[in-house]
Amino acid sequence: MKKLSTKTIATLTVVTAAAAAMPGLSKTALNSSQSQFDKLLQRHDRKGELRAEILNMSAHEFKKQLRHYTFDEIISKAGMTKRTFRLALLGKLRNELRQRGWTTARIDTYIRARAARTQPVAVAA
């Protein structure tokens, strides 16, 4: 994995956990095909190294495929669903945090604290 800051990895872990738990939660608009999660991941993984590693391909091959196919098509060609991809990404990010000295308990606490802030509040009608 390319060298991302620990803060970026922690943030991606939080949003990946939320996106994996509730896939439709992060849609930006009703007619939008790309979620906020996908945009955030694309921004922090500009070279595609993180996504390519999960899909078992080189970053160069991943970028080449992105020119011809949508990200969803690439995921399905790799034999994954969007949810399985997000769960694999979550595992990879958690492992990276553990390698940087975070404990599992610290990661879980961080995710719970941050996810509570990012979840939309339901308004009773």
Q: What is the pLDDT along the chain (125 residues), one digit of tens a residue?
A: 557 889 988 988 988 888 877 655 445 444 456 677 778 888 888 888 899 999 999 999 999 999 999 989 999 999 999 899 999 999 999 999 999 999 999 999 999 888 777 655 444 44
Q: Within a domain: residue 99?
A: yes
Q: Within a domain: residue 124?
A: no
Tokens of 33: 């095909």
Q: Within a domain: residue 109?
A: yes
Q: Within a domain: residue 123?
A: no
| Helix residue spans in 1-125 (DSSP H) | 6-21, 36-44, 49-54, 59-68, 71-77, 82-99, 104-118
Where do we find the tokens 């391909």? 57
Q: Within a domain: residue 65?
A: yes
Decide: 27 and 35 in contact? Cβ < 8 Å.
yes
Q: How many CA atoms lie within 13 A of 70 on its CB side?
A: 7
pTM, full prediction: 0.78
Q: Within a domain: residue 125?
A: no
Decide: 41 and 51 in contact? Cβ < 8 Å.
yes
